[in-house]
Amino acid sequence: MTATTNINLISKPGQKVKPQQQNRLRRFVFNAGPPVLVFILFIALWWVVSATIYADRNYLLPRPPAVIKAMVDNWSLIAEGTWITFTSAVTGFALAIVLGMLGAVIMSLSKGLERSFYPYAVLLQTVPIVAVAPVIVLWFGYNQNSVIVIAFMIAVFPILNNTMLGLASADRNQIDLFRMHRANKITEFTKLRFPGALPNIFAGLRISAGMSVIGAIVGEFIIGSGGEKGGLGVKVIFAQARLQTDLLFAEVIAATLLGFVFFMVVSWIGNLSLRSWHESALKADA
């Protein structure tokens, strides 16, 4: 490439934006524009309602500036609670990944194992957490361990169910091809069934990522109110008792953002793992 060509490639003041840059800008506006617009409309509606209907009762619905001020003034308190909830949710989520995927692999080995154990997995998902909370406290103590158990109980079923679905959805022709070449069960699992199940597995992980945060906060609601030093669920309880609604809203926003970030990180890892070969990730990158 000549020096003249190199000079021409450098953008000059007032030079028009290249078509490729325009396409990127359009894609960014197309993807980010609608959620940003909805967020602005939501904040505007919240502000209008809090300034009119609840003008004399801002202890029920504080205005957005009051919530922002409460978040800034109590940043260390919210950060502490967010970290505790985060560690509980991550630990419960990690346990759900290990035990959920292990259970799915075991049950996928034979229909007899699936018929024997799958109903109890469904039962674990449908049992009311409030009903079993006293038993959880009795077994694991009135501490963060019980919160982790509840986060695990809420997060494990989507991982187990979606992993089983993915392992059972391997193409029959490909299975016959592997068996025709006398591939053993381990090779069939590692080269065919598990890679083919990854889209379903990541679908379950996305669901469970947010549910683990919900489970941690619900656990703190149920059994974490023994002292103010706790996660976001505990701090919400104390803010509600003191009618500190602006602080309560700030803590709820922190919990929402925590769950959202959790979901986005898992989604990013999933797209990173699938984008070179699976249609869903290819469409997401397009």
What pLDDT is stored for residue 280 in this prediction? 57
Q: How much is the CA Rg of the chain, to the nearest whole Å?
A: 25
- Dihedral sign for Cα 269, 271, 275, 280, please: positive
What pLDDT is stored for residue 51 in this prediction? 87
What pLDDT is stored for residue 227 in this prediction? 53
End-to-end Cα, the chain, rounded Å: 31
3-class SS at 153? helix
What pLDDT is stored for residue 1 in this prediction? 44
d(Cα 149, Cα 264) in Å, to the nearest integer? 23
Render the burial of 126-163: b for 16+ CB within 10 Å, e for the rest.
Answer: eeebeebbeebbeebeeebbbbbbbbbbbbbbbbbbbb
| Inter-helix orientation angle 245-274/194-223, to 10° | 170
Residue reference for tokens 């309560």 = 248
Per-residue pLDDT of the chain (286 residues; tens, 9 = 90+): 444 444 444 445 555 556 666 677 777 666 767 777 888 898 899 889 888 888 888 888 899 999 999 999 999 999 999 999 999 999 999 999 999 999 999 888 888 888 888 888 888 888 888 788 888 888 888 888 889 999 999 999 999 999 998 888 877 788 778 778 777 778 878 788 888 888 899 999 999 999 999 999 988 888 765 555 788 888 988 888 888 899 999 999 999 999 999 999 998 998 888 776 665 555 544 4
d(Cα 261, Cα 263) in Å, to the nearest integer? 5
**Spatial CA neighbour of 205 closest among 159, 248, 242:** 159
Structure tokens of 276?
A: 């070179």
What pLDDT is stored for residue 281 in this prediction? 55
Residue partners of 250: CB distance under 8 A and separation at least 6: 67, 68, 70, 71, 74, 78
What pLDDT is stored for residue 13 in this prediction? 52
Q: What is the dihedral of CA 94, 95, 99, 104, to 10 degrees?
A: -40
Whether 217 and 85 have beta carbons less than 8 Å apart is answered as: yes
Whether 54 and 113 have beta carbons less than 8 Å apart is answered as: no
